[in-house]
Structure 1
Amino acid sequence: MFDGKQITIFGGSGFIGRNIVRELAQRGARIEVACRDVEGAKHLKVQGVVGQVTPVHVDVTEGESAIAPAVEGADMVINLCGILYESGRNRFDAVQATAPGLIAAAAAKAGAKKFVHISAIGADAKSPARYARSKAAGEEAVRAAFPGASILRPSIVFGPDDDFFNRFGAMAESLPFLPLIGGGKTKFQPVYVDDVADAALNALASDPAAGKIFELGGPKIYSFRDLMELVIAQTGRKRRLVDIPFWLASVEAAFLEWLPTPPLTRDQVELLKSDNVVSEGALTLQDLEVEPTACEAILPTYLDRFRPGGRYNRFRAA
């Protein structure tokens, strides 16, 4: 299916993108990784044979003129561009609302046959969170420009390089407590990054997936408290769980937002007020022939580095 195909992946140097690049390279695709930091993406070249994976500089905030050259000759296009917080020119509206439509339009004009857009569970035009509103606007723009696009909405994505479990693992290593924003009642359905990559490839390969939206979640739903307890168990740390009301979290986030890499923003606090789970009746991983992987099977393989004594302690205990 992918052997010899030209596939352009926008945002392909990121956490999810790196896994998709690996899987496509193993299947013989020729891949252009459209990203802002070409130097930082050069390590992706070793995922394939010489010349199979090519990072190219594209800043999607520069509009159609920057995007169009990257999709010339592409048989398939994947858009993974997204941000967790705003900084500089990287605004939610530019990256997540406007750019997806421009990429989809450029792909259609270039004659691409398949398009996969990675969005997020919780994308909602009426959400109080700007992140979720921009995701919804991006989906709408993609479907208008490329009606046959497949849209994937993952819950929080976990894996060795994730931003979620690694962040709280580091906190467990250095702090005497872990925060439970809003009492830790928000529900999540974490999905393994390899499952998301497989879902993207299967969506590209499946004609019935065209024009459909899939919500990607793992086999189990957890509260935020449950996830923090998992972090504590996997890191072998005795840590208190401290309830932090939403209003207080918003006050703290107002100051944290000024950091170069903010650990929390007021927009993220708004997101935490809504559950992040697969909707009833939605198409899921199973509809893309992917069996979801449980957190408990994967977390021990990378959170052990936050244990007292590091990874060595796990092997000694074994």
Structure 2
Amino acid sequence: MACTTLVLNKSTLLIRTQGLPAISVKCFSTDPDPKPIKSLSLLKKGTGGRSSFNGIVATVFGASGFLGRYVCNKLGKQGSQIIVPYRGDFGDVHRLRLVGDLGQVLFQRFQPRDDESIRKAIKYSNVVINLVGREFATKNFSLHDCNVEFAGRLARLSKEMGVDKFIHVSALNADPNPPTLYIPGGSKFYRTKYQGEKEVKREFPGATIFRPSDIYGQGDRFLRYYAHYFRSFQQTLAVYKKGEETIKQPVFASDVAAAIVAACKDPDAFGKTYQAVGPKRYYLSDLLDWFHVIMKKTHEAHGYTRYDLRYDPVMPIKLIITSLFPGTPMGDISPERVEREGHTDIFRKSLPTLEDLGVQLTNMEDQVPWELKPSAAFLSYDEEMGEFEKPVPPNPVPL
């Protein structure tokens, strides 16, 4: 009986049979190697839904945050492949598996100070979105570490890895020297956000930057901040100058997410800075009164009253208490948050808005099924409100 021996030598298979010459069989094609795919858009397939692939492979840093969930859902709904880097427990991001089709949402551990782990997360992406931001310092990362150093490192590595688009989320009132209202030295958040923009532009000149105002939506830190019991004291709410000289322009989270996704596909968004603001401007005092009417906490029913924060002896004690415990402050009350709530949102007519990306903005009062509408004293930014115009005193909302 003849004896046959199979020998696999690298890419060649040798078949030896006793008494016969060996037969050599190649295990690979002798044709020239195919050309590498330079653009992932060539792999587009489907009709554009969650089970499609639109050619966008996006790495979303900060996807576990409030805005990140909206952005990932918008990306997955349009057939994008999403890479979610996460630093903590997988339970913080596991719910994002449902935003895309099977195999379209991938997870990658990373460390903000480890360049190699960041490279792995953006290696196959053509879009990188930075939603990482911090409103208060922790024992491991300061405001400068999160808002400046990490933003610059991510922009630099994205440029090195050949990423096509880099999108960075900043803040509306980012300023190198923000005015001081309540805490000494002014807002470090606004200062570091401005420095982060400069670092991103220096490392990635074509980056697209979004400057959002206060963002509201399900699970936000704007509406829930004022509704938290720790923010008020015995049915009284301390606000800087009673909120009657502060104008806010809050924006819906879904509108910001839709604009970020639109910027991923719009070539005209390259290198631009967008103001992510809502369609209307509101006096903070009117907003707070409106919130408490909706919550059925009026003066008659609950004893709700606004007064000037500058004369409040309780708030400094609360800030000391929250600083003694690590992690997220109780009710998101931190010195930075209290300082920023007194700043008027400055709208610059020279910069584009979300409407320039084709987003139809949502009115805040239309989101709440309540017959009472905000005060008629609200100003429209593109008609009556100038860039640095001083606001006039509002008409109080009857409670």
TM-score range, shorter chain: 0.7 to 0.9
Matched residue, 1:296? 365
Unaligned runs of 5+ in 2: 1-40, 42-52, 179-185, 371-399
Q: Does 1:243 align with 2:302?
A: no
Aligned-partner Cα distance in 1 for 2:79–2:320? 47
Distance 1:170 1:271, change over 3 A: closer
User: 2:254 is matched with which residue: 194, 200, 208?
Assistant: 194
Matched residue, 1:140? 198
Matched residue, 2:328? 261
Query: Greater relative contact order (Cα 8 A, min sep 6): structure 1 or 2?
Result: 1
User: 1:72 is matched with which residue: 101, 123, 135?
Assistant: 123
The alpha-carbon deviation at position 173 of structure 1 amounts to 10
Which letter does structure 2 place at the counterpart of 1:56?
A: Q
Matched residue, 2:104? 52
CA deviation string 1:204-253 (max 9, x = no partner): 11111111111111111112212211211221222422213336445642
The alpha-carbon deviation at position 193 of structure 1 amounts to 0.3
Which letter does structure 2 place at the counterpart of 1:51?
A: G
TM-score, normalising length: structure 1: 0.87
Distance 1:281 1:4, change over 3 A: closer
TM-score, normalising length: structure 2: 0.70
Aligned to 2:157, the other structure's residue is in SS state helix
Which letter does structure 2 place at the counterpart of 1:28?
A: G
Unaligned runs of 5+ in 1: 302-318
Matched residue, 1:40? 92
Larger displacement relative to structure 2 (272-281 or 154-163):
272-281
CA deviation string 1:65-96 (max 9, x = no partner): 33222111111000000112111212110000
Q: Does 1:114 align with 2:160?
A: no
User: 1:164 is matched with which residue: 187, 207, 222?
Assistant: 222
Which letter does structure 1 place at the counterpart of 2:310?
A: F
Aligned to 1:153, the other structure's residue is in SS state strand
Larger displacement relative to structure 2 (92-101 or 29-38):
29-38
Q: Which segments of structure 1 move beyond 3 Å, counting only runs of 4 or more? A: 170-175, 246-252
Aligned to 1:20, the other structure's residue is in SS state helix
Structure having the larger proportion of residues in helix: 1
Distance 1:256 1:223, change over 3 A: farther
Distance 1:58 1:227, change over 3 A: farther
Which letter does structure 1 place at the counterpart of 2:130?
A: N
Aligned-partner Cα distance in 2 for 1:45–1:254? 39
CA deviation string 1:109-137 (max 9, x = no partner): 11110111011111111223111111011
User: 1:102 is matched with which residue: 147, 153, 171?
Assistant: 153
Distance 1:217 1:250, change over 3 A: farther
Matched residue, 1:313? none
Larger displacement relative to structure 2 (83-92 or 243-252):
243-252
Aligned to 1:293, the other structure's residue is in SS state coil
The answer (yes or no) to whether the contact 2:238–2:309 under 8 Å persists in 1 is no
Distance 1:300 1:97, change over 3 A: farther
Aligned-partner Cα distance in 2 for 1:55–1:277? 38
Larger displacement relative to structure 2 (267-276 or 208-217):
267-276
Aligned-partner Cα distance in 2 for 1:65–1:134? 25
User: 1:178 is matched with which residue: 215, 237, 243?
Assistant: 237
Distance 1:220 1:90, change over 3 A: same
Matched residue, 1:304? none
Aligned-partner Cα distance in 1 for 2:339–2:225? 19
- Please give the root-mean-square deviation of Cα atoms over the aligned residues, in Å: 2.2
Aligned length: 300
Larger displacement relative to structure 2 (277-286 or 188-197):
277-286
The alpha-carbon deviation at position 266 of structure 1 amounts to 2.3
The alpha-carbon deviation at position 97 of structure 1 amounts to 0.7
Matched residue, 2:288? 228
- Greater gyration radius: 2
Larger displacement relative to structure 2 (210-219 or 277-286):
277-286
Aligned-partner Cα distance in 1 for 2:84–2:152? 18
Which letter does structure 1 place at the counterpart of 2:307?
A: D
The answer (yes or no) to whether the contact 1:195–1:293 under 8 Å persists in 2 is yes
Aligned-partner Cα distance in 2 for 1:89–1:278? 34
The alpha-carbon deviation at position 268 of structure 1 amounts to 2.7
